[in-house]
A and B are shown apart, each in its own frame.
Chain A
Amino acid sequence: MEKKSASIMQKEATLKSPGDGPSRLAPPLKQLQQWLRASGISGQLLCLVLVAVVFTAGTQGKFLSWANIQVILNLAAIPAIIAIGLHQVVVLGGIDLSAEGVVALCVVVVGLLAHNQFNSNNVGIWIVPITLALGGATGLVNGLLNTKLRIPSFITTLGMSWVLWGLAVFVSKGQTIPLVDNPLSGLINGSIFGIPNLALVALALLIAVQLAQDRTRFGRYLYAIGGDEVLSGQAGVKVDRIKIIVFTIAGMFYGLSALFLAVKLNSAQAITGNNLLFPAITAVAVGGVALTGGIGGAKNAALGALIVTALNDGLILVDVNPYAQEAVNGVVLVIAVALTIDRKKLGFIK
């Protein structure tokens, strides 16, 4: 018996945990190091620094000028918002490819319902809840198809994207709808202390979602399902309900992005939705959200969007051929997935 307690004591000494409340004596640098390791974004921050260093050197400092940083923040905001919506589905272990279709339809609806040159509608500020509801409804349908009919999210959302895109072109008759005096335009195009408001909105959403992920039951269940759906169900997690909610939230984020895009461009057309999905998925992967589910949060998605945007901005500044830029994006996506994916979880690679 004595021997046993001795061995336990020994274990106590060796297993003393590093992150169990950082030791107060540790120098700040060490604390920072610990925090970075625990946060799961150290690699991404390093990546961002690397991009900054390379392009700052390549552009004689122009890359890090305040004007360019503003440009990056402004450009990164929309992909970040879409990525924050999308990554939650990825954390569940699914994928959501419906962003482009949802944005296309929502943009067109904004064009037709807000004050525009096409018809006499003007719902004013009500356009905000309307787009959120419309985006949410598309997500709800995705979620129901995925959980109740048990169609893989990949197909559900891809199909949904094309349905909505077709609908958007049909409703808008393929035309561009110019907006008139939108009440949101001041807010969306403005800035506070030089920081674009859109970037601040993205930041607010990031904080809200991250908080929900870390500090609510809903967030914990999200990760539990991503870790092991069957075991979570056995433990009592209402798997289907959470999935439907997550798809719905993702749809609302796309709806919001659509509204911002329409107001920013001061016109609405279906093709506004084009080319939004690839950067968002790249952002999610680069940010360190594993496509196998269960790992990575809103901060990862947003940081990923920032890295991808900064990279593209840098490539433009150093005058790389635009086609080569697209190829670089593809390479970045594949490398990011290769680094984050949990191969043990995938039985077969299809």
Chain B
Amino acid sequence: MQETKSGSPTKELVLELRRITKSYPGVIALDGVNLAIYGNEIVGLVGENGAGKSTLMKILIGNVQPDQGSYQIHGQAVRLTDPAHAIHLGVGMVFQEGSLIPNLSIMENLFLCHETEFERFGVLSRKAMREAARTALTTVKVLEDLDTPVADTSPAVRQMVEIARLLWLSRLYRQKNPVLILDEPTTVLTEQERETLFSILHEITKQASIILISHRLQEIVENSDRIVVLKDGKNVTDFSSENASIPEIEHLMVGHTFSADRYRENEQVEQVEPGQEAVIKVENLSKKQKFEPISFTVGAGEILSLVGLVGSGKEALCRCISGLEKPDSGSVTVGGKRVTAGSPSEAVRSGVGHVPVDRRNEGLALGMTVADNLNLLVLDRLKTARLMSPIREKRNALDWIQECRIKTPSPSTLCANLSGGNQQKVVIAKWLTSQVSFLVLDHPTRGVDVGAKEEIYRLIRKLASDGVGMIVMCDTLEEDIGLCSRMLIMKDGRLVREIDCPPFRKPSPSEIIGSIV
């Protein structure tokens, strides 16, 4: 069916997913996705954030069960119970964040939970383990001391150890052509390590198949035999990479029309006049190994979108602005006053708010009520005679619940019991109450269903019309374009491009994506 670079047209089908569907409350993550992996090939899997790549991978390794569809390994239908089961059947994954235990040595990590091989009367034979470890590690060319704790090794070595572990396990369980899934393996690597990785991966295809997930299309095109593109939980195409071009793939990843009113463009605040006083002025802000000196301003009511891949430095930049991280140099000026670097409380006092991506841990006190969370920043205003006034607290909370259409049974409901979308509304409402002049929105619609998304867009527009300047980082490029009035693109810690996005004359995603990847 598929031609591969090595030219043999009839390769054995190793693994096949057919018409896989998986939905979560409010979202369909995967909608009838097909995926076939043949022996000894590298398949590149690409797609925007939220296209369904991670759900697909979780289904492949048995972390998540599909709602519908069939999963076959070597022609046999399987129902995976957990990742350990997947490993027994020769499907394993190297996660972006790694799954090695930091305090154990390389050797111990290699065989963890599968040491029975080396047991002699209940005692582990170090000699046998060493020998097996050496053989396992020669394939991936790791020459570190076997006793080094994993925490002391480089990300490249850790990655190789994980690959070696999966290969060794597949041999242990007699799987002839294991499938290794690598999630963004190159983001943590240097240029040279990247080269080594791919030369090793090509070596490994002699005994295994590889699914390679990456945002760097260049390396996907160069190294994979086939490319599978996912978009909005659906297969777009599946083609040989021989005649693939990067612009073509980019178009497949994002290319579609989108409705202007979804993002309430008609409410977009018209471009601020140049020279008008900025809400926030960032000057030569830099942090070593994260981002290089960067300067920009955000005007009142302006929504600035910050776009870039993971590792582009945009997250660190935002954390520096809101005081969560300390920059190495440069300054942030809000309303003409310089903000002390690295102090979140100082940032809040100057009128800088932050809606974090991890709202459950950083944005909300989940164990507190909706009212308590809403009132957190304005406690001083709710006092009578220097003591908290329960009546005023409740009134304030009710006002904002209504204003922001937070769906909660009562103000005294715990935030932990709200849906993700309503939790996010509480976070944004909290900043609305405190009259911030500048707000950082870190993925404001992450994990939120469609209805709540629209509510959040409405709140963002409301903030803008109240004169709040904002930086947004969105889940999809489309959302970024739809919301923002100006866009900054960052790549490898540098500002590479600035694009104006006036209402109804917005650039299309495919014009922009080239500067991002």
Q: Is the CB of A19 within 8 A of B83?
A: no
Q: Is the CB of A215 within 8 A of B123?
A: yes
A150 located at the interface, meaning its Cβ lies under 8 Å from any Cβ of chain B in the complex = no
Contacting A235 at CB < 8 Å: which of B99, B143, B145?
Answer: B99
A15 located at the interface, meaning its Cβ lies under 8 Å from any Cβ of chain B in the complex = yes
Please list 25 pairs of residues, one from A and one from B, whose beta carbons are closer than 8 Å in the complex, sorted by A's number: A7-B192, A8-B141, A8-B196, A11-B141, A15-B143, A15-B144, A17-B144, A17-B145, A17-B146, A17-B148, A19-B147, A20-B145, A38-B147, A215-B123, A216-B123, A216-B124, A217-B115, A217-B116, A217-B119, A220-B104, A223-B104, A223-B108, A224-B104, A228-B101, A234-B99
A8-B141, A215-B123, A216-B122 given as contacts; is B99 within 8 A of A231 (CB)?
yes
Q: Please classify the interface of chain B as helix (H, G, I), strand (E, B), loop, or mixed, using the class held by over half of its residues.
A: loop
Contacts of B104 in A (CB 8 A): 220, 223-224, 227
A12 located at the interface, meaning its Cβ lies under 8 Å from any Cβ of chain B in the complex = yes
Q: Is the CB of A7 within 8 A of B196?
A: yes
CA distance A299 to B112 in the complex (A): 23
CA distance A220 to B195 in the complex (A): 34
B89 located at the interface, meaning its Cβ lies under 8 Å from any Cβ of chain A in the complex = no
* Interface of chain B residues 100 through 142 with chain A (CB within 8 A): 100-104, 108, 112-116, 119, 122-124, 126, 141
CA distance A283 to B147 in the complex (A): 27
CA distance A13 to B83 in the complex (A): 37
Q: Is the CB of B102 within 8 A of A237?
A: no
Q: Is the CB of B103 within 8 A of A223?
A: yes
* Interface of chain A residues 3 through 43 with chain B (CB within 8 A): 4, 7-8, 11-12, 15-20, 38
Closest to B99 in A: A231
B450 located at the interface, meaning its Cβ lies under 8 Å from any Cβ of chain A in the complex = no
Q: Give the size range of A's interface with the partner.
A: 20 to 34
Q: Is the CB of B143 within 8 A of A11?
A: yes
Q: Is the CB of B103 within 8 A of A4?
A: no
B183-216 to A contact mask, C-beta < 8 Å, 1/0: 0000000001001100100000000000000000
Q: Please classify the interface of chain A as helix (H, G, I), strand (E, B), loop, or mixed, using the class held by over half of its residues.
A: helix
* Interface of chain B residues 438 through 488 with chain A (CB within 8 A): none
Closest to B199 in A: A4
Supplied contacts A217-B124, A220-B112, 12 more A-B pairs, CB within 8 Å:
A7-B196, A11-B143, A216-B123, A217-B119, A223-B108, A224-B104, A224-B112, A227-B102, A227-B104, A231-B101, A236-B113, A294-B103
CA distance A17 to B152 in the complex (A): 13
Contacts of A231 in B (CB 8 A): 99-101
A182 to chain B, nearest CB (A): 34
A133 to chain B, nearest CB (A): 23
B236 located at the interface, meaning its Cβ lies under 8 Å from any Cβ of chain A in the complex = no
CA distance A61 to B283 in the complex (A): 67
